[in-house]
Amino acid sequence: MNAREWLRTLVAFDTTSRNSNLGMIEAIRDALAAQGVASELTYAPEGGKANLFATLPAHDGAVQGGIILSGHTDVVPVDGQDWDSDPFCLTEKDGRLYGRGTADMKGYIAVALALVPEFLALKRAKPLHLAFSYDEEVGCLGAPVMLEALKRRGLRAEGCVVGEPTGMRVVVAHKGMNLYRCRVHGKAAHSSLTPRGCNAIEYAARLICRVRDLADEFRSRGPYDDCFDVPFTTMGTNLIAGGIAVNTIPDACEFSYEFRNLPGMSPDEIQGRIEAYIQDDLLPRMRRDHDAARIEIEAMPAAVPSLEASERDAVTRLARALTGDRGTAKVSYGTEGGQFQNAGIPAVICGPGHIEQAHRADEFIEIAQLDACEAFLRRLAGSLAG
């Protein structure tokens, strides 16, 4: 199948993150097996989803080294979006291919799969690897499972190209994403007896304001990196719940906050400032109202480490040489690139399509972008032939 045919096949699988991706993964596994390529599947804890990792060995059978082509198989929901066509049926119009996941990022996967026969026919001195993950859209949950399996196998790679939509530009950095759930526990009382209670909502509000104060500090004082569209670390509280009645002092309040840190800024240090405020200021004040008051903070698994590729890394130099892109592009959204980097595999982001088309109704990818990606991956494979 060519790239367009593969993309039609992949889009037809509704791999919204709440669903299983096994149908799509198994179709890819079977297609690779028919070409003599074995795949390793690593499953999510509940078993309903899987990653796929496959190696196209070098001409001498070597499987170590080489380059990983990485993409995620899950997509975001279409609920409430007004589409002009069926989001799970590839539709062509005016040089564009419409469908959920066309840009983010089944287009890249389709191109890689379409080129497998060419890759296999090429006498490569180094292997080429395919890495397709689950649950990237809900916090990059699948890639760590796959990377741990690679570590156990002792498989090493020289670099990774994550094919998120960049318009085929080379993106060398992105922010980290860190998400926390906070539960504030006070003491309920009738609102006419306010001094006998401990108002969890009000103390949660103080902590939320502290998060905002830190956000304002980063905005006004930095550090800054002007290569990002938002050049500083951001923070915010985006979800809150608490209270049962207007005449009852609430004994519980729960909220979630996130921060997206610039590469080089320690997430632990940022979170440490929040926890220091809780221990040194907020809890002592709460316990003057109620000695059993407490605050619980839970780090959510949907944490994405930042990425900052080195210009000295072989994969960065290779991507720049193959694309001719010498600019410094950095993005605020997260990818699995930081996870590969933390596992000792240098990574860059370079893929077809544009992030502006992702996640929206009538998501599309330009056919010209698929063609550019094909040319890029052909040159990449050719570079492995020495």
Using alpha carbons only, give the angle 42, 47, 51 rounded to the nearest 5 degrees: 30
Assign residue 118 the CATH number of its domain.
Answer: 3.40.630.10
Residue that is last in its domain, among 238, 264, 299: 299
Domain shared by 243 and 97, yes or no: no
Residue with the two structure tokens 């080129």: 115
Residue with the two structure tokens 């210009």: 311
pTM of the model as a whole: 0.91
Domain shared by 284 and 205, yes or no: yes
Q: Is 136 a catalytic residue?
A: yes
Assign residue 180 the CATH number of its domain.
Answer: 3.30.70.360
Annotated active-site residue in 14, 74, 137, 258: 74
Residue 272 structural domain = 176-299
Annotated active-site residue in 135, 136, 313, 362: 136
pLDDT at 386: 67
Q: Is 104 a catalytic residue?
A: no
Q: Measure CA of the first residue to CA of the last residue in the chain; give whole Å.
A: 27
| Band of residue 303 on the pLDDT scale cut at 50, 70, 90 | confident
Domain shared by 156 and 250, yes or no: no
* 84 vs 102: CA distance, rounded Å: 15
Q: What is the DSSP letter of 157?
A: -
Q: Round the average pLDDT of the chain to a whole number and report it.
A: 96
Domain shared by 88 and 141, yes or no: yes
Domain shared by 166 and 210, yes or no: no
Q: Say if residue 103's pLDDT is above 80.
A: yes
Residue that is last in its domain, among 265, 299, 333: 299
pLDDT digits (tens, 9 = 90+) for 211-252: 999 999 999 999 999 999 999 999 999 999 999 999 999 999
Q: Say if residue 29's pLDDT is above 70.
A: yes
Domain shared by 295 and 377, yes or no: no
Residue that is last in its domain, among 257, 284, 299: 299
Domain shared by 169 and 180, yes or no: no
Domain shared by 295 and 322, yes or no: no
Q: How many domains does the chain have?
A: 2
Domain shared by 271 and 344, yes or no: no
Q: What is the mean pLDDT of residues 115-140?
A: 95
